[in-house]
Structure 1
């Protein structure tokens, strides 16, 4: 499979390593704009881990050129619906995920299941904490937002999430974001009462998990004959259905 890497920072370089290990070819490595469209057209799939300011243009350019695209860039989701409209208009294939780690996507499902179990126990107050490296530009993380939305969907006591956590009212799920040097990514959800605490936590030790998930998603999407908007749930289903 021929891959275009849109965004060649730490994540892009880790994706390149994983992709080469899985016998794929990198035909474009680009961090600047505008995109080299000639090189992009040679790709079977593009993987976008760029910056929020570039993501929408990167993604929609792929749609216009008929290149399936995987995006893990966060901080641009105010334009997500518009990107999906363009994908449908151009018969594109698209997966966006706030986190491509297979472990995190299993954690998303665990989080939703626990939220459903806890929905009727209002004595427990929920707090969501995320920790990332100091170079991460957006806060809270896209992964934390996805976790918060998963809880809100199952628990009618919360109508929205709030960052920073100390600004949350009783109907808002508080998110605390910390930035510590060289932390790959930690997310913790705590249910606390006066009697006890219940916690679930995911800790990433390296970037390899994110990169592997992105490459696996790209492999899955490239083989998908039907155009459309997909998610990591679709990719995971391919594993669990086996």
Structure 2
């Protein structure tokens, strides 16, 4: 499979190595030094594009992939206010768009666990729920896209909370998310239900970028011959 890498930072380089180890070919590598090479013509050389960039450029990158007819797998977060626009553009071009806020297989199992625990805790008196997420200092968005996904899944299954805040909650319906940026932490997410007598804690702690990068390559392998909006639930059959 021929892969275009849009974004060639630490994650892009890890994705490249895994893709090569799995027998794929990298036909295009885009970083800040050669953005002029990100063209429809060049994207057409690839069977699939893997996009890990920044929020302000992500949507334009997706549009180019749709124009080229190249399926795109993206892990960029912080652009979701444009999600409806992107989906409409993808459908208009009969394209393929695989998006995940986190490509780690373990994190996506953690998503399922979060939903299950929220259902179990719904209606239990005396508990309050909060979240902590920790990432490296280079991460630009806060809270993380993974934390937002976890929060949204929790709200669907735990009616006592309806929104999140990085500040002190102003109402019982708000859930506090503490976003910590320190060192080179790949990613930690903790969800805690606390009462006067105990607390219940679930946590995912990533050891390296490898799990995220492997998931992105698996997503590319899965999506290159498919159409429409895809996500990790499709890949993992959750």
Q: TM-score range by the shorter chain?
A: over 0.9
Q: Deviations over 1:124-145 (max 9, x none)?
A: 1001100000000000000000
Q: Deviations over 1:92-129 (max 9, x none)?
A: 01111100001100100000010001011131100110
Question: Which residue in 1 is equivalent to 2:50?
Answer: 47
Q: CA offset at residue 160 of structure 1?
A: 1.1
Q: Deviations over 1:189-214 (max 9, x none)?
A: 00000010000000000000000000
The secondary structure found in structure 2 opposite 1:223 is coil
- Which runs of 5 or more structure 2 residues have no equivalent in the other structure? none
Q: How far apart in 1 are the matches of 2:94 and 2:51? A: 19
- Which runs of 5 or more structure 1 residues have no equivalent in the other structure? none
Q: How far apart in 2 are the matches of 1:122 and 1:66? A: 52
- Matched length: 235
Maintained 8 Å contact 2:41/2:68: no
Question: Which residue in 1 is equivalent to 2:75?
Answer: 72
Question: Which residue in 2 is equivalent to 1:162?
Answer: 165
Question: Which residue in 1 is equivalent to 2:185?
Answer: 183
Flag as ranges the 4+ runs of structure 1 deviating above 3 A: none
Q: How far apart in 2 are the matches of 1:15 and 1:181? A: 22
So what's the TM-score if we normalise by structure 2?
A: 0.96
Greater shift after overlay, 30-39 or 175-184? 30-39
The secondary structure found in structure 1 opposite 2:224 is helix
Of 158, 174, 199 in structure 2, the residue corresponding to residue 197 of structure 1 is: 199
Pairing 1:44-123 to 2, within 5 Å after superposition: 44-123=47-126
Maintained 8 Å contact 1:168/1:174: no
Q: 1:131 to 1:23 in 2, by over 3 A?
A: same
RMSD: 1.1
Q: Deviations over 1:63-96 (max 9, x none)?
A: 1110000010001111111001100010001111
Q: How far apart in 2 are the matches of 1:5 and 1:168? A: 43
Q: CA offset at residue 168 of structure 1?
A: 4.5
Q: Deviations over 1:197-241 (max 9, x none)?
A: 0000000000000000000011000133xx21111100001xx7x
